[in-house]
Amino acid sequence: MNTLGKTFKNEKDIIKMKPRLKRRNLRKLKPLFWDYDWNSVENNLESPFVIARVLELANPEQFRVYSSLVGDDEIKNFLEKKGQKLLSKRAYNYWKLYYEKKIK
């Protein structure tokens, strides 16, 4: 099995690799939280504050990383319950439309 140019003997090797890949991908979000303690952000990825910051400031790659970590359901739930209060009108409308089209 070959992943990212490395050869693995079995699936256990890939499973061991996943936490490192997750951490490496998670670092792509760090620039969005320049003014906060990164360990606190890492431990609260599903908090409304973190979701709002990602939806307001993330580029497409950062958004893909984040949504793969927390899941679309978590983001949709945020939009329904707190998105209108915590996001700008522009961001809120964009993400509502994005998820409506994704469902169809």
pLDDT of 24: 74
CB count within 10 Å of CB 29 equals 23
Instruction: Specify whether the CB–CB gap between 83 and 96 falls below 8 A.
Output: yes
Q: What whole-number distance in Å separates Cα of residue 74 and Cα of residue 61?
A: 18
Number of domains in the chain: 1
Predicted confidence at residue 6, as pLDDT, reads 47
Q: How far is CA 48 from CA 8, 18, 32, 35, 73, in A?
A: 38, 26, 15, 17, 13
What is the reported pTM?
A: 0.76
Residues 31 and 36: their CA atoms lie apart, in Å, by 10
37: containing domain: 2-103
pLDDT at 14: 40
| Per-residue pLDDT tens listing for the chain (104 residues) | 444 444 445 444 444 445 555 667 888 999 999 999 999 999 999 999 999 999 999 999 999 999 999 999 999 999 999 999 999 999 999 999 999 887 54
Residue 23 burial by CB count (10 A; 0-12/13-18/19+): exposed, middle or buried? exposed
Interhelix angle 11-26/60-70, rounded to 10 degrees, is 130
